[in-house]
Amino acid sequence: MEKKLSREEARKRISELRQQILYHQKKYYVDNDPQISDYEFDQLMAELKRLEEAFPEFLTPDSPTQRVGEKPVEGFPTVSHRRPMLSIDNCYDVDGLREFDERIRKLLPGEKIEYVCELKIDGLSMSVLYLDGRYHQAVTRGDGFRGDEVTAQVKTIRSLPLTLPLKEEVEIRGEVYLPYESFKKINQEREKRGEPLFANPRNAAAGSIRLMDPREVASRNLDIFLYYIFIDGREMPSQWENLQQLKKLGFKTNPASRLCRSLDEVIDYYREWTEKRDSLDYDVDGVVIKVNSTRQREILGTTAKSPRWAISFKFPARQATTRIKDIIIQVGRTGALTPVAILEPVQISGTTISRCTLHNEEELKRKDIRIGDYVLLERSGDVIPHVVSVMKERRTGKEKPLVWPKHCPVCHSAIYKEEGEAISRCINPSCPARIRESILHFASRRAMNIEGLGEALVDQLLDSGLIKQIPDLYHLKYEDLVQLERMGPKSAQNLLDQIEQSKSRELWRLIFALGIRQVGEKLAQALARKFPDLEKLARAGEEELMEMEDVGPKVARSIVFFFRQPENQKLLERLKAAGLKFREKAEKAGPQPLKGLTFVLTGTLSSMTRDQAKEKIESLGGSVSSSVSKKTDYLVVGEEPGSKLDKARELGVKTLNEKEFLKLIAQA
């Protein structure tokens, strides 16, 4: 039971709570360095709300409890900006950037030019006004001269301070955006309600900021990065100082911003973030380059639409619209039937895309994708392109839904779908499509690593009848190979040498190469450690397998099912007869020096590939993970490291450069 406070005690406690809450909000939303748990924070907010209800005379508009208003607003009044919010010209290649730099230098002859590079957040431009140290008004960019007042909506953004330690008029400008996780959640909820999905985070942010009810806006978890500040209408002497002043006042600025003292540094920054953009949890579509000096910017001035002192260097597009010409069904090595869209070719991120996976029958139906539809495609980094949405308003009535087959489109055998799965599968283990994909997987770099055995050669070998199953690879003859098209004597001998070398690969590679469902590379390594004899693994039961840390009932069933199939038993017999290694050599006696240590690799190593570094660590008893966590012991940092380095610094994980890593390995 809480002690009943006097009026003066309540006033003091309310003031204390507000200061604590504002501090913790800044640590959480701006600094990404939370000091208390969510539960503890919620308790502070709950106490403040109770006291303000009990002592309403102390309630003020800038209290943290008032960030979300109680009533929906009615309409959006139009407000004129104190100074225009101009759009920025774009360029799409280095030549365009050099032309921009040349124009600047012609207008500022003989002067030293510095640039500030900032990531171009794909969001909604916003102007926020503070009067007498208090949050007063927020206005969208609109047409650059007038915008919509969205004061109640922007007030819900928790990283934005409601008070400032300044009494002057302060205007800040920035970009309201929606983090990816919030974007996914919103679309999942819209999908459940049968509402159209937002095409991208920017659309979702714009839609969110125009919701009439601030409580609903608050649930969307919008955020904001700031980049300009005007105090009584004046900027700081430089853009870099603008950013420092914003940070000093508690505003959230983008940590990737950088002061560049030459055009080459600007180009390096652009190239760096072209590679690293997929490591961010928000959408960026380019780099904004600004002349740093405010004095120089005043000399350069503006055109009717854009400042002459800034340009946006856009990243290659990741989304594009195209038409589906056809939908075909592909059969993979596990028999999975996958619908694939054949597209009118379109450029995304500098790559021509002419086909993309549609995943499975359920996904096809859920999105109602039809032959002839216009669709919005997206490709992030090296991820396979996928359909974001169907442009149903462009339908003419001639579009046709795909009729899902009742039989395998390759061998015409029956297909089946396991309960609880979305994927249909061909039941025929001798299906030509399954055999082709199985051979390609078996020969792949991370499996048996048979160099030179790619798609074109596998197709030739199958079409000519030289191979029909995986074991046939080990019975190929030189005189047969040299007769194949584009296969000379040297290539034929190289291939035979590679096939011969694959016989002595590590046991885990063979286990992985077999293509057992649910068994990836990491689990194959664990299985080889527990069962250093493949025939012993083939006899293992579900209970014995489930003793392993990474094996649950579903995985155990899959492994046992694979080895119980007569065709797979025959496969193993033939591989053993061909001379493949079925038993791992016993480990050398003595402790493994890196045992119990977890490593993560980032960037490019000059002395070895990352695969070689991984094998070296594992041979000494260490383990290699793909992501940094508190359990990581060392991050090995090569050239051009990615976001893993930032994560390691944030978590206090020890980092090793290549020289230090090699020294550690040598000592081990």
Strand pairing class (598-602; 415-417) = unpaired
Tell me the C-alpha distance between 304 and 258, whole Å.
28
DSSP classification of residue 471: G
Question: First CA to last CA across the chain, in angstroms?
Answer: 61
Strand pairing class (400-401; 370-371) = antiparallel
Tell me the C-alpha distance between 656 and 394, whole Å.
55
Token couple for 625: 């993970």
Tell me the C-alpha distance between 613 and 624, whole Å.
9
Tell me the C-alpha distance between 189 and 179, whole Å.
16
Which residue in this structure is represented by tokens 């025939």?
535
Tell me the C-alpha distance between 508 and 516, whole Å.
12
200: left (phi over 0), alpha (psi -120 to 50) or beta: beta
Tell me the C-alpha distance between 42 and 24, whole Å.
11
Which residue in this structure is represented by tokens 């082709």?
436
Tell me the C-alpha distance between 477 and 237, whole Å.
76
Token couple for 115: 């640039």
Q: Catalytic residue among 120, 155, 290, 616, which? A: 120
| The residue count for the chain | 668
Which residue in this structure is represented by tokens 């350069």?
300
Token couple for 51: 């006291």
Tell me the C-alpha distance between 276 and 457, whole Å.
35
DSSP sequence for 182-230: HHHHHHHHHHHTTPPPPSSHHHHHHHHHT-S-HHHHHHT--EEEEEEEE
Q: Tell me if 126 sits within 8 A of 132, measured CB to CB.
A: no
Token couple for 535: 């025939």
Active-site residue, 184 included: no
C-alpha separations of 441 from 9, 103, 453 in Å: 72, 54, 10
Strand pairing class (258-260; 124-131) = unpaired
Tell me the C-alpha distance between 342 and 329, whole Å.
11
H or E element, residue 118: strand 115-121
Q: Tell me if 456 sits within 8 A of 462, measured CB to CB.
A: no
Q: Report CA dihedral (457, 461, 464, 465) to the nearest 10 degrees.
A: -170
H or E element, residue 613: helix 610-619
Token couple for 100: 């921009």
Tell me the C-alpha distance between 211 and 75, whole Å.
10
Residues serving a catalytic function are: 120
